[in-house]
Amino acid sequence: MAEQRRHFSAADIPGFGLTAMAVFVALYLPIVTLVVYSFNASASVAEWGGLSLDWYRKAAGNAEVLNATANSLIIASLAALFSTTLATLAALGTTRRAPFRGMTAVYAAINQPLMVPEIVTAVALLVVTAALKQATGYTGLGYLVMAHTAFCIPFAYLPIRARLEGMDLSFETAAADLYASDWQVFRHVTLPLLLPGILAGAMLAFVTSLDDVVITEFIKSPGQDTLPTYMLGQLRRAMTPDVNAISSMLMGVTILMLFAFFLLTRKKA
Amino acid sequence: MSTLTSERAADTHGIAVQQVVKAFGAGSAAIRALDGVSVDIRQGEFFTLLGPSGCGKTTLLRLIAGFEMPTSGAILLDGADISALPPNRRPVNTVFQSYALFPHLSVAENIGFGLKMMGRSRTEVADRVARMLALIQLEPMASRRITQLSGGQQQRVALARALAPQPKVLLLDEPLSALDAKLRKEMQAELKRLQQETGITFVFVTHDQEEALTMSDRIAVMSAGHIQQVGTPREVYTRPVNRFVASFVGETNFISGEGGADGVRLGNGAVLPVSGAPNGPVTVAIRPEHLMLCASADQGAMAAVVERTVYSGTDTHCHLKLAGGGTLTARLPTLVSGEIGLSVGDKVHVRPTPGAVQLLAD
Amino acid sequence: MAGASDILTIRSTRRAWALVTPALIVLALAAIGPLLVVLVYSFLTAGEYGGVEWTFSTDGWFKVLFERDIFDDTLTLADAHLTIFWRSVSLSLVTTVLTFLAGFPTAWFIATRAPQQRAFWLFLITIPFWTNLLVRTFAINQVIRNEGLLNTALLSLGVISQPLQMTYTQGALLIGMVYVYLPLMVLPLYAALERFDPRLLEAGYDLYASRWQVLTRIILPISRPGIVAGSILVFVPCLGAYVTPRILGGGKMMMLGNFIELQFGQGRNWPLGAALSIVLLVIVTLALLVYVRTLSRENRHG
């Protein structure tokens, strides 16, 4: 009984596992390098000057960076708040019901920001805001908040809709049977059940807004840099490791949000 | 259940499963799905692996198909060891439980898939597909998509697809379980007809004992990774070797007693006539339909009281409480009126028909 | 008045419209409406210092493909524009193919893991997917630029004596785009492969197919909707890419996105920029239509 036994697995395709490993290495090598070198005391990738938080300190001491951080957080928070509110209402109107005339068009409109290339939306908003700024004289963050709210709607909408579709109408029916008014049904049944979806939607909207470069770059007024547009400006010049530090922090926020998102949308066992 | 030596196996036609062990997992956590199974399946027979879920019957089928490799032991086909061959190099085809028909191909393309993979000419493939479609009586469906077929039609396409390459062995993994009762009966007859027409060895897996009894030439009853008994349906039903086989195939009354020269003496003093009973405690089995009710206590009939009757169409199950303790179930043919002329509380006498008492090994 | 139909008023059409209208207003103001303005601008005359003058002109559209000689008014095809179009389309196509070649085995690998492990591998793809595009471009740039990781490593190993010039080349752009858009390919492929019935593979092997035949005749045809979805998801943003070519192409290797921006900046030709945007939008819409048609065909066939 010493013959060699070959393993057979229908799902194995030669080379696929190896390619996948190569892909994971290739995906992570640049990101990990970037994070590691944000802690490098030396300014060059060529040499490791020891562990240091200098670049984080330098970034934190830079007034432009602080201003950009504040702008990013204000815009992302407001855009997440508004887009999630709008998306929640839209999801309540488009799920768990028979299709109504124009529902396909509503879907198309909600998902439109996902389908149009960012550069086209950016140009379109540039044209409109330039005219509005000239006509009204208002140059505040309002334009950015409005634009971010619009393109965050589909990101907020998707998890809320997914959650709603998994929710049985029988809960609402039961509540109504127990003398709850429409508002009470929504307040005490629908909303609490929907909350994980709403929070997940808000996270995605926040991250999407925080990451935007192109649209912000086109419609910002002077002094309205967000972190990404500030970085884009820096990249044009010599690259300094404090950009590494900012990048690492942005990534950290994204990963935290993703963890929260997964916990919120995880199916209960 | 004999284990063949390699020399003898070399000139044997059919499948020889020799001391096969299949363990899943590793080390102490390993689970032995098959624990030293040996069985010979003759060429051209309709062979059924029967057992409850988890008994290892599907694992054995997958080992013969080549989807799994045995941990130890060998599987021989016409005397040649095929244990290490991948499934695409074995002259064995499978009808899957869920059919596994390719959703992106038409009925004809599904049936011709195997021949195409073997590199057969276009005309040969077309010719064989046409004959297969005729065999399963689905000629008008040739260009249909799989999703446009009913469950029964899908079943027949799966069968034609597996038969088209003319395998030496056809493996069927509970192929009828997804069909409703009526269609199932039709397909049972259809399968039997196809097997007789093609002369191909069928290895059929099922947990349905009735299906196994009606279709098979021989049956292997499996439990807990072991083969309990191999035999014709008649042998398995009338001469079960142990308690598991007796209870899994059909209904049975189990009775414990003391073995002796005259038979098996029960607790209530009655003696059941059975030859060859060893001295000491033994278990015997009697099928409910082999119990007769009689008016008086002649020839060792036992006194009992009717506890409950359950009507099931052609028969009525009559649950009896024996005078000295213990219960028995008798199956009595129903009268035209749908009655058996008994009611709860009636005092009766019951005795087994001659030769009905089976001595069990454990 | 608390009837059973009353409490489920989410079902009434009027309420549905009331609920979706606020979102539609914001989208109309900040996403859909401005596109119409762009269409209008493409038919206006370019202002001398940017912006537009409100006189009708087809010049913007004309200049998408042609240039008029200043001296003798002859028409010639605008070679520079064609180069940029060609580069955008060809780079996007090659990027799509390369991300597929790398992404399919990856998606297959994840889909064939044990269910508990799948979430982990999927999360590894999701992190780069959601990481800022700029950060990822920056990260890959650090690897391939002259003073970057790759050159430093090769120099110290003595493989090369001069740093390889990789940035500002077509190759760099390609590497960058494949790196940046790979997660967009893997996720839809995974979604399609996750539902793949492994019995179909066994049926294929059972019917004498080799591994290659199982791949090309069973796996790939069945996962076609996922392949189309992934390809569209990569191709569309590639075509409109702005950040990646700007950083890795350094102004020399412009793509359509950068070219459009140029018209609104130094080019000072808003109508041309507007016309180019519409062209891009039309190409993207066509690609999406192909996708929708493929999907509906799959659905018809089941």
Contacts of A254 (CB under 8 A, 6+ apart): A207, A210, A211, C127, C130, C131, C132
pLDDT for position A55? 84
Identify the band that residue B315 occupies on the pLDDT scale cut at 50, 70 and 90: confident
SS3 category, C51: coil
A4/B contact by beta carbon, under 8 A: yes
Q: For residue C133, count other CB atoms closer than 10 A to its CB.
A: 21
Contacts of B93 (CB under 8 A, 6+ apart): B114, B161, B162, B163, B165, B167, B169, B170, B171, C206, C207
* Alpha carbon distance B274, B262 (integer Å): 7
CATH topology of domain C77-300: MetI-like fold (1.10.3720)
Cβ atoms B327, B307 nearer than 8 A: yes
For B82-99, write each residue's pLDDT tens digit.
Answer: 988 888 889 999 999 889
Query: Strand B347-352 and strand B302-312: pairing?
Result: antiparallel
Average pLDDT, chain A: 86
Nearest CA in chain B to A3: B84
Chains in touch with A (≥3 Cβ pairs < 8 A): B, C
Task: Give residues 10 to 49 of A whose Cβ lies within 8 Å of B.
Answer: 10
Mean pLDDT is lowest, of A89-103, C8-22, C135-149, C221-235, for C8-22
Using CB atoms, pick whichever of B104, B147, B162 lies closest to residue C221. Answer: B104
Which of A46-50, A57-61, A74-78, B185-189 is the most confident on average? A74-78
Query: What ipTM was estimated for this complex?
Result: 0.85
CA distances from A31 to A238, B22, B181, C135 (A): 19, 45, 60, 8
Share of chain B above pLDDT 90, in %: 34
* Alpha carbon distance A110, B308 (integer Å): 67
Residue numbers in A near B86 (CB within 8 A) = 6, 8
Section B41-60 average pLDDT: 92
Q: How far is A125 from chain C (nearest CA, A)?
A: 6
Check pLDDT > 70 for residue B222.
yes
* Amino acid at position A233, single letter: G
Binary contact (C206, B86; C-beta < 8 A): no
For C222-252, write each residue's pLDDT tens digit.
Answer: 998 889 889 988 998 899 899 999 888 877 7
How many CB contacts within 8 angstroms connect chain B with chain C?
73
pLDDT for position A17? 92
Binary contact (C206, B146; C-beta < 8 A): no
Question: Over the Cα atoms of chain B, what is R_g?
Answer: 25
For C105-128, write each residue's pLDDT tens digit.
Answer: 999 999 999 888 998 999 999 999
Identify the band that residue A267 occupies on the pLDDT scale cut at 50, 70 and 90: low
Residue numbers in A near C260 (CB within 8 A) = 119-120, 123
Binary contact (B88, C203; C-beta < 8 A): no
Identify the band that residue A7 occupies on the pLDDT scale cut at 50, 70 and 90: low
Check pLDDT > 70 for residue A238.
no
Nearest CA in chain B to A10: B67
Mean pLDDT is lowest, of A235-239, B132-136, C173-177, for A235-239
Share of chain B above pLDDT 70, in %: 94
Chains in touch with B (≥3 Cβ pairs < 8 A): A, C
B24/C contact by beta carbon, under 8 A: no
Nearest CA in chain A to B73: A1
Check pLDDT > 80 for residue A5.
no
pLDDT for position C252? 77
Share of chain C above pLDDT 90, in %: 38
Which is higher by pLDDT, B145 or A49?
Answer: B145
A2/B contact by beta carbon, under 8 A: no
* Alpha carbon distance B304, B293 (integer Å): 10
Using CB atoms, pick whichever of A1, A5, A10 lies closest to residue B69. Answer: A5
Average pLDDT, chain C: 85
Q: How far is C98 from chain A (nearest CA, A)?
A: 12
Nearest CA in chain C to A249: C135
CA distances from A42 to A46, A55, A237, A249, C11 (A): 9, 10, 19, 19, 63
Section C181-186 average pLDDT: 93
SS (H, E, C) B201-253: EEEEEECCHHHHHHHCCEEEEEECCEEEEEECHHHHHHCCCCHHHHHHCCCCE
Residue numbers in A near B74 (CB within 8 A) = 1
Share of chain A above pLDDT 90, in %: 41
Sequence spans of domains, chain C: 77-300
Q: Of the candidates C121, B229, B279, which has an alpha carbon nearest to the alpha carbon of residue A20?
A: C121
For A13-67, write each residue's pLDDT tens digit.
Answer: 888 999 999 999 999 999 998 888 888 887 776 677 788 888 888 888 888 899 9
Identify the band that residue B130 occupies on the pLDDT scale cut at 50, 70 and 90: very high
How many CB contacts within 8 angstroms connect chain A with chain B?
22
Binary contact (A251, C131; C-beta < 8 A): yes
Identify the band that residue A74 occupies on the pLDDT scale cut at 50, 70 and 90: very high
Using CB atoms, pick whichever of B96, B103, B114 lies closest to residue C302. Answer: B103
Which is higher by pLDDT, C80 or B204?
Answer: B204
Using CB atoms, pick whichever of B88, B113, B145 lies closest to residue C301. Answer: B145
Structural domains of chain A, ranges and CATH numbers in brackets: 14-52 (no CATH), 62-265 (1.10.3720.10)
